[in-house]
Amino acid sequence: MSFHVESEVGVLKQVIVHRPGLELSRLTPANHDELLFDDVLWSERARQEHDAFAATLREHGVLVHHFGELLAEALDAPGARGFLACHLTTRFRFGPALERHLDDLVRVAPAATLASYLIGGVLKRDIAGVIDAPSLLLEYLHDDDFLLTPLPNHLFQRDNAAFAYDGLSINPMAKPARRRETINSRLVFDFHPAFAAGGVRKLYGDDSLDHDRATLEGGDIAVIGNRAVMVGMGERSTPQGVEMLARALFRAGTVDTVIAVELPRERSFMHLDTAMTMVDRDAFSVFPYLPHELRSFTLHRLGADGEYKLEENKELFPVVADVLGVERVRVLRTPIDRSGAAREQWNDGNNFLALAPGVVVGYERNTTTNRYLADEGIQVVPIVGEELGRGRGGPRCLTCPIEREAVAR
């Protein structure tokens, strides 16, 4: 099976999503800030909304894969549990007294149970009576303390891994609360039979290096098509990370142009797709009050070694139009006052997932933006996101496309 993403708005064929599980039930008033959530979500309702979202995708012909299931299947592949013992259950994470005992558990635990804990976290009481070791860490922890913290941000599958054309970046995440997601993503993409047999080209991050400041997240990566990628630089993806990705894309020979966009350094603009998303072959939905003078830079491929020519752009969207080969880009800024725009922005009013050119999925609550896009010829397929949206992520955030067609021009 071939996995590739040729555009942002071509017909969507396959995606990975993560149905909220144990990890969302372990989000509390005491830990939600540390885990990058603004509130405690109603987990049961969030699952219902996510199920409806997945059903909407299937109704539009999209093959939906669930990350938790892929992870469980990957854990039964040869070498997967050894990888986990090497990269997760280490003496530096748990102390030398626990390392061997946790390695043993990793090797014998049923795959579905282990996958649930890798995402949902492990409390001390979860392993009470299973491990008998003179561990200072175990003695120190209370029964309801986390031995392994939950990963509720796995809900946002866009960020931890991203396909760009025929390549895959397994992204080094910016925040400590999300960095362990990369281990789970590497398990899936390195060991699951569907991906291991598919010969997926790895671009960046599929290693055990210290990436330091070169962080990158998929919400900042937009495959705009025509051998070009746009990447946001802000709270999560750094210039160093963007350059690492650009050089990998240029070496792969599938991309000629990378456009790097500087974002406002605010939580509501944590990724490029919280500020703008592509909704048609020539159109972007853009936060109405996003500064017109956003700085952007174009990296032009020079050769097979990853070198590039760098230039700062006078304006962003004329450059995008030129790269896409269209006369102009329709920049769709909803006519709305600042307070209304801020409310819809907080609820991911510009975070759309394209199903096909001019057909996108968005949260129904952003009524002003949705009506405006409809007036501009964009069909918005509405979904409920009362709980999902409280995690500060929209339909694009919830999905990792693994197969999407190019756009006919």
Q: Write down the domain spans for the chain.
A: 4-69+152-404, 70-148
Query: 63-66 and 122-123: which strand pairing?
Result: unpaired
Percent of the chain scoring above 70 in pLDDT: 99
According to the model, what pLDDT value does residue 267 have?
Answer: 66
According to the model, what pLDDT value does residue 378 have?
Answer: 97
pTM exceeds 0.85 for this model: yes
The amino acid present at 95, given as its one-letter code, is G
* Residue 290 token pair: 């996003």
According to the model, what pLDDT value does residue 303 have?
Answer: 85
Residue showing tokens 């495959």: 223
Q: Rounded to 5 degrees, what are φ and ψ at 284?
A: -125, 135
- List alpha helices for 235-337, DSSP H: 239-252, 316-324
CA angle centred on 376, ends 371 and 379, rounded to 5° = 65
Mean per-residue pLDDT for 270-280? 94
In angstroms, rounded to a whole number, what is the distance separating the alpha carbons of residues 247 and 250?
Answer: 5
In angstroms, rounded to a whole number, what is the distance separating the alpha carbons of residues 183 and 86?
Answer: 11
In angstroms, rounded to a whole number, what is the distance separating the alpha carbons of residues 99 and 82?
Answer: 13
pLDDT tens sequence across 314-330 = 999 999 999 999 999 99
Work out the burial of residue 304: count CB atoms within 10 Å of its CB; fewer than 13 is exposed, 13-18 middle, 19 or more buried: exposed
Q: Rounded to 5 degrees, what are φ and ψ at 201?
A: -75, 125
According to the model, what pLDDT value does residue 132 have?
Answer: 84
Mean per-residue pLDDT for 59-68? 98
According to the model, what pLDDT value does residue 128 have?
Answer: 80
Residue 353: pLDDT band by 50, 70, 90 thresholds?
Answer: very high
4-69+152-404 is a CATH 3.75.10.10 domain: yes
User: Residue 17's closest CA among 277, 310, 361?
Assistant: 361
According to the model, what pLDDT value does residue 39 have?
Answer: 87
Residue showing tokens 């995708």: 57
pLDDT tens sequence across 82-106 = 999 999 999 999 999 999 999 999 9
Q: What is the CATH number of domain 70-148?
A: 1.10.3930.10
According to the model, what pLDDT value does residue 349 have?
Answer: 80
Please list, in sequence order, all residues whose beta carbon lies within 8 angstroms of the beta carbon of residue 384, skipping any fewer than 6 positions away.
Answer: 49, 52, 363, 364
**Does position 269 have pLDDT exceeding 90, yes or no?**
no
* Count of beta carbons in the 10 Å neighbourhood of residue 245: 28
**Does position 64 have pLDDT exceeding 80, yes or no?**
yes
Residue 338: pLDDT band by 50, 70, 90 thresholds?
Answer: confident
Mean per-residue pLDDT for 346-359? 91
**Does position 268 have pLDDT exceeding 80, yes or no?**
no
Q: Which residues are catalytic?
A: 397
Long-range pairs, 122-127, Cβ under 8 A, ≥24: 122/146, 122/147, 122/148, 123/147
Which DSSP category does 254 fall into? S
In angstroms, rounded to a whole number, what is the distance separating the alpha carbons of residues 130 and 97?
Answer: 14
Mean pLDDT of the residues in the chain: 93
